Amino acid sequence: MKLFFSGHGETYAVEQTLLTLFPSQRPEYPDDAPGGDCELELRFSEGVHFATASALLRFDGKTHRALTRSKRLPDEADEVSKTRQRRRLLQRAFYRAAVDALGVEPPWGMLSGVRPVKLPVRGVLQGQSLSQAERALEKTYRVSPSRTALAMDCARAALAVQQSLQEDEIALYLGIPFCPTRCAYCSFISAAGNTNQLIPAYLQALHEEVRTAGAATRKAGLFVRSVYLGGGTPTTLDAEQLSDLLSALRAEFPLRDGVEFTVEAGRPDTITREKLDAMKKHGVTRVSVNPQSLSDEVLSAIGRAHTVSDFYAAWEEVRTAQFPCVNMDLIAGLPADTFSGFCETVDRVLSLAPENITVHTLARKRGSRLHAEGGAIPDEACVFAMLDYAWDALRSAGYLPYYLYRQKYMSGGFENIGWCKPGFANEYNICMMEELCSILSLGAGAVSKQIDYAAGSLTRQTNPKYPQEYIRDCSRILTEKQAFVNRLRR
């Protein structure tokens, strides 16, 4: 879409709204002045009494206009407030013109961020009641009733965790960026292959980071409340490598008693009895086994190297090992899937009664094979019906939504939702998504976050993305990580 701005330079905010309302469009900025060629003109001006934003949108041969206005802030108001007002007015004007053009409001209304639950959580922590926070979602941000209810359920789960968090507690993440094969929808920096030559050198560097970060955490008087071993697929490691890593984590880090400890064993074809025994021995409490779909045709279309019967075999092993909590991921909108096929997957997964079920919506991420090659996927209406079916089935089976997030390029602008049986919400997912406590992240691509919730501040420390760079820059990373943990000390 060709864009023209006047009186402002709010590129990022406008582009976020554009991606939400018109996911297939990409922004362009022609050099010429506005005219017939320009599809969206967004203007901002301040008069004596009012700040005004106007949108003119040419879409499908018609012109749509919208104007928003609010009382001008005094000259002495701070820049943050002025910027916030300008963005809000511009996004609202664009939104109104777009809804007029499309004839329908998106499920998340004007919200374009990945963390819609943050809004009610922050609102309540700043003194709003739950019903005021709920009204703000519906009235101010025009979120649909179904998404408002969903966000409020997740906000309640997040507020419960927030109240139980101690000041000296952090969450810990470790990344293993290796998978047996690459899924068609994956944009993750994962190197495929069990025999990947990088794994030994990668683990050596990771063990060093574990030792350094563990010692610094101890010295800082901090405790780890939840651990998440993700990736990639951590169970791409062999049983001995996995056992050594879990043992090092336990030895080096001060873990709270009863620490929540998740391992993503996402790919059923990587799960063995020996690996599960190692996880049990080292106190893993939650394991993810992700079918994504229970159709062999769909699994083949998305490049998974396992079948439905491999999934059931892995599930049997995991259940026999008796982990307190098992999660299963599903994806709505996969290539070759149908409404009835997806519903059957949901029903079959529910019949296994895992403690957590995470329902994702397919996103055509940049960098994925699906994005590069295209190909048929279920349309928005079909994905909507799939999600609708899953919600009803999950609620009827007693599951509750406890965290959610959105992604760019997601079918229909929908969301990914974590569902749990009562009492089985995964705290790591909540803390990470709502940014409730500081997160210490180790490994390639890891992003550590120092979060001061009361002050509203967030500082990041980022490790290199690629395993090769991570291995090469290991000593620099250790220095940075130590400095990061020292800053967490209160």
Residues in contact with ligand SF4 by the rule CB under 6 A: 179, 182-183, 186, 188, 190, 231-233, 266-267
- Indicate the residue among 265 and 325 with the shorter CB distance to ligand SF4: 265
Q: How far is the CB of 183 from ligand SF4 (least distance, A)?
A: 3
Least separation in angstroms between residue 238's CB and ligand SF4 is: 17
> What is the smallest separation between the CB atom of 236 and ligand SF4, expressed in angstroms?
8
Tell me, what DSSP letter sits at residue 74? P
CA distance 280 to 300: 31
CA distance 142 to 94: 14
For residue 206, the number of C-alpha atoms closer than 13 Å in the C-beta half-sphere is: 29
Closest distance of CB 308 from ligand SF4, Å: 16
CA 249/CA 198 separation, integer angstroms: 21
- The CB-of-270 to ligand SF4 minimum distance in angstroms stands at 9
Question: In whole angstroms, what separates CA 341 from the centre of its chain?
Answer: 25
CB of 181 vs ligand SF4, minimal distance in Å:
7
Cβ-based nearer residue to ligand SF4, 107 or 266: 266
Least distance CB 272 / ligand SF4 (angstroms): 17
Q: What is the DSSP letter of 56?
A: E
CB of 279 to ligand SF4, least distance (A): 18
190-209 residues labelled b (16+ CB within 10 A) or e (exposed):
bbbeeebebbeebbebbbbb
The residue (of 231 and 412) whose beta carbon lies closer to ligand SF4 is 231
Question: Which C-beta is closer to ligand SF4: that of 363 or that of 390?
Answer: 363
The residue among 235 and 438 lying less far from ligand SF4, judged by its C-beta, is 235
Q: Where are the alpha helices (DSSP H) in 165-227?
A: 199-219
CB of 45 to ligand SF4, least distance (A): 46
The Cα–Cα gap between 405 and 401 comes to 12
Measured N-to-C along each axis, helices 273-281 and 308-321 cross at an angle, to the nearest 10 degrees, of 30
Q: Which residue is nearest to ligand SF4 (CB)?
A: 186
Max intra-chain CA distance, the chain:
73
* DSSP code of residue 270: G
CB burial of residue 314 (10 Å; 0-12, 13-18, 19+) = buried
What are the CA-CA distances from residue 407 to residues 112, 174, 213, 361, 365 (Å)?
9, 22, 30, 9, 9
Nearest alpha carbon to residue 358 among 413, 412, 295, 428? 428
CA distance 1 to 11: 13
CB-based contact 189:469 (threshold 8 Å) = no
Question: Based on CB atoms, which residue is closest to ligand SF4, 91 or 241?
Answer: 241
Tell me whether residue 106 or residue 231 sits nearer to ligand SF4 (CB atom).
231
Residue 399, amino acid: Y
Q: b or e along 421-441 (b: 16 or more beta carbons within 10 Å of the residue's beta carbon)?
A: beebbbbbbbbbbbbbbbbbb
Nearer to ligand SF4, 151 or 444 (CB): 444
Our CB check for ligand SF4 shows the closer of 106 and 232 to be 232
Pick between residue 117 and residue 179 the one whose CB is nearest to ligand SF4: 179
**Minimum distance from residue 353 beta carbon to ligand SF4 (Å):** 24
Beta bridge partners of 329: 358
HSE of 351, CA atoms in CB hemisphere, 13 A: 8
Whichever of 368 and 448 has its CB closer to ligand SF4, that residue is: 368
What DSSP string describes 204-215?
A: HHHHHHHHHHHH
Q: How far is the CB of 385 from ligand SF4 (least distance, A)?
A: 24
| CB of residue 110 to ligand SF4, shortest distance in Å | 30
Give me the least distance between CB of 292 and ligand SF4, in Å please: 8
DSSP letter assigned to residue 73:
P
Nearer to ligand SF4, 133 or 198 (CB): 198
Task: Look up tokens 């990373």; give the residue.
Answer: 477
In order of 170, 352, 369, 377, 384, the CA distances from 380 in angstroms are 39, 28, 20, 9, 6
